[in-house]
Chains A and B, each alone.
Chain A
């Protein structure tokens, strides 16, 4: 119950309040560090020449002027390290994708590394942090653009001391570790205007904090995938989705032939329309023969329309295939690790990466449709025999 003797703390100590005083808190709501521990001056390594050491001292002092309150000037949020790399603005972080994408043939925008190869320049200072390329390794699965943070403004660095923002340690080098992401309280404050491809509602699940993706209402989050919100169509169009269908997957065959064929299929098979009315029926454009059939295997080469993915206003998604097959699509649990979709071509001994899997979906039969179909199946074929009305149906099940 004693009052705090020091004049700087104005709060009574009795209630150890966790609320932060405004002066202690940056705009992001994080704890501002008031006390900078004096780190011992970095000991120069043996290999270091003496001239570069002189460079360290002037460099931080030149930083001093712009050290404080750099705020958004940096844009890519690079942590302030000691000596800067010479004036080139190296694209790093999530915005590094820009220039490299112009070179790709298709409009894919995978998070391929675009970091230019920064040769570690030995002319840089000799401290432990020297020679780091000051560029981050590229990140994948950046669903939201990282919000521009305010640079933490620290007190002036002493000579020889390098101040590293632990948040941004990632940017220091290719091999730098990832820092854990901050707590949710930071996220609640940000408006997140760039979540335009997500639903408007952002609900935080209290138990999931690490992955931003998991912390939100699942349905709204995946809305952008299949065209509910149609902007940024370019980005969406090349995402790779993994669908897990129940087995066995419905068998499809080229129209006009029900069985799996061994020889080349007929070209002018009769085109029976066997689809439910809501399936789009297209007139044939090409003959149905499409390359050689798989030899000696039952695998038939398939290529064609099989159905529709319907997106409802409520956010539900259904897949409607032929023969009255209706399947529900729901988001599956998303793996946190990297997954590649890969084409293995044994003829040419090639392993081609098609891309990184963006999201997983689980497909399950729509229960109502399934039960109705099972009922229909159980009641059996309704063959009407003459005089059936006088007969009693025998239950053979």
Chain B
């Protein structure tokens, strides 16, 4: 580096770690995450819920249901599928009110997946000519979940049977490690796919894999199954979603900044970057 390189500005850096900050990533390229104006006009807002132990979040974004851009009949079909799916997973929203109305698919559900952090991520905001840093505790990636399609295709498969309906193509063969949500459909599938029975022998025992035959599954798979089950059994906790312009968000932002003027003492050295073994 050039010795004559002079410093133009020096901005003090402050550190604080009061909040539990997360980064949420969305598959949105140029739009912000918000409800469409037509949905907002009818009172729908973005909602969120969390399963704290499994560290899974869901964000529900209302969908634009104007007839110009929304297919109402399909919306009803999918809405019904979603309702059934919710009931199955015991996450049905209670007390939505109007009983007579057909359920509609009126929101996009974004489900999160935590991704491991590389290094230490810090959020920085320049405020009053000072850079305030705050560590990030978790990074979550959000993707839309379409689990209601599974239920609908399952129903179609049951009804359709052999004649292949356009909706009921079997897709990939049943994963031997996936726990069967209901025992009835897999049985039928195996009867029709008798020729493949030998290959997928493990799946034939799927019905009683909880009781016995655990030796058939390796430990890693057992763990994975356990994690999946734990996640399914945990119940959702509702969260209040506060957008960027709300009071609560402003309040959180105020808490983000560091206010103490004292200097913190650093007890490690540059060399710790090299000498300390990296965590995982």
- Chain A residues packing against B (C-beta within 8 Å): 100, 103-106, 108, 110-113, 115-120, 130-133, 135, 137-141, 173-175, 178, 225-228, 236-258, 272, 274-275, 279-282, 284-286, 288, 290, 299, 301-314, 316, 319, 321-326, 335-346, 348-357, 361, 365, 368-370, 373-374, 377
Could you say which residues of chain B place their CB within 8 Å of the CB of A326?
Answer: 270
**A120 and B265 form a contact (CB under 8 A):** no
The stretch of B1-9, B150-158, B220-228 that contacts the partner chain: B1-9
Could you say which residues of chain B place their CB within 8 Å of the CB of A341?
Answer: 21-24, 123, 136
12 A–B contacts from the bound complex (CB under 8 Å): A113-B32, A118-B37, A227-B129, A238-B125, A238-B127, A241-B125, A245-B120, A258-B267, A285-B262, A340-B33, A356-B32, A370-B274
With A and B bound together, what is the CA distance between A319 and B2 in angstroms?
Answer: 17
With A and B bound together, what is the CA distance between A309 and B129 in angstroms?
Answer: 11
**B23 and A250 form a contact (CB under 8 A):** no
**B239 and A174 form a contact (CB under 8 A):** no
Could you say which residues of chain A place their CB within 8 Å of the CB of B105?
Answer: none
Given contacts A174-B38, A245-B122, contact A373 B8 (CB under 8 A): no
**A244 and B121 form a contact (CB under 8 A):** yes
Contact of B271 among A309, A343, A368, A374 (CB under 8 A): A374
Contact of A285 among B135, B250, B261 (CB under 8 A): B261
Q: B1-40 toward A: CB 8 Å interface, digit per residue (1/0)?
A: 1100111111111111111111111111111111011101
Given contacts A117-B41, A281-B263, A309-B13, contact A337 B66 (CB under 8 A): no
Given contacts A119-B41, A306-B266, A365-B270, contact A246 B120 (CB under 8 A): yes
Given contacts A251-B267, A252-B265, contact A244 B118 (CB under 8 A): yes
Instruction: Using CB atoms, name the residue of chain A closest to B6.
Output: A313
Given contacts A245-B120, A301-B18, A338-B33, contact A288 B262 (CB under 8 A): yes
Q: B248-280 toward A: CB 8 Å interface, digit per residue (1/0)?
A: 111111011011111111111111111110110
With A and B bound together, what is the CA distance between A279 and B265 in angstroms?
Answer: 12
Kindly name the residue among B11, B52, B123, B260 whose own CB sees the greatest number of chain A CB atoms within 10 A: B260
Instruction: Using CB atoms, name the residue of chain B closest to A347.
Output: B20
Quote the shortest CB–CB distance from A40 to chain B (angstroms).
Answer: 20
**A306 and B15 form a contact (CB under 8 A):** yes
Q: B49-93 toward A: CB 8 Å interface, digit per residue (1/0)?
A: 010100001000000101111000000000000000000000000
B166 at the interface (CB under 8 A from A): no
With A and B bound together, what is the CA distance between A348 and B19 in angstroms?
Answer: 13
**B25 and A337 form a contact (CB under 8 A):** yes
- Chain B residues packing against A (C-beta within 8 Å): 1-2, 5-34, 36-38, 40-41, 48, 50, 52, 57, 64, 66-69, 118-129, 131, 133, 135-136, 237-253, 255-256, 258-276, 278-279
**B52 and A346 form a contact (CB under 8 A):** yes
**A322 and B248 form a contact (CB under 8 A):** no
Instruction: Using CB atoms, name the residue of chain A closest to B128.
Output: A237
**B260 and A304 form a contact (CB under 8 A):** yes
Interface of A is mostly: loop
**A250 and B266 form a contact (CB under 8 A):** yes
Given contacts A120-B38, A175-B69, A350-B248, contact A240 B9 (CB under 8 A): no
With A and B bound together, what is the CA distance between A252 and B260 in angstroms?
Answer: 14
Contact of B24 among A290, A339, A349 (CB under 8 A): A339
**B29 and A178 form a contact (CB under 8 A):** yes
With A and B bound together, what is the CA distance between A322 and B269 in angstroms?
Answer: 8
Instruction: Using CB atoms, name the residue of chain A closest to B130.
Output: A305
**A354 and B33 form a contact (CB under 8 A):** no
Instruction: Using CB atoms, name the residue of chain B closest to A322.
Output: B266
Contact of B15 among A112, A115, A246, A304 (CB under 8 A): A304
Quote the shortest CB–CB distance from B7 to chain A (angstroms).
Answer: 5
Could you say which residues of chain B place their CB within 8 Å of the CB of A105?
Answer: 247, 250
**B23 and A342 form a contact (CB under 8 A):** yes
**B5 and A316 form a contact (CB under 8 A):** yes
**A313 and B26 form a contact (CB under 8 A):** no
With A and B bound together, what is the CA distance between A205 and B276 in angstroms?
Answer: 39
Quote the shortest CB–CB distance from A73 to chain B (angstroms).
Answer: 26
Instruction: Using CB atoms, name the residue of chain A closest to B122.
Output: A243
**A120 and B25 form a contact (CB under 8 A):** no
Could you say which residues of chain A place their CB within 8 Å of the CB of B67?
Answer: 131
Quote the shortest CB–CB distance from A44 to chain B (angstroms).
Answer: 14
Could you say which residues of chain B place their CB within 8 Å of the CB of A240?
Answer: 123-125
With A and B bound together, what is the CA distance between A171 and B207 in angstroms?
Answer: 54
Could you say which residues of chain B place their CB within 8 Å of the CB of A349?
Answer: 237-240
**B40 and A321 form a contact (CB under 8 A):** no
Given contacts A303-B15, A311-B10, contact A284 B124 (CB under 8 A): no
**A255 and B20 form a contact (CB under 8 A):** no
**B269 and A141 form a contact (CB under 8 A):** no
Given contacts A335-B25, A351-B239, A351-B240, contact A275 B20 (CB under 8 A): no
Quote the shortest CB–CB distance from A69 to chain B (angstroms).
Answer: 30
**B18 and A303 form a contact (CB under 8 A):** yes
With A and B bound together, what is the CA distance between A258 and B69 in angstroms?
Answer: 62
With A and B bound together, what is the CA distance between A301 and B134 in angstroms?
Answer: 11
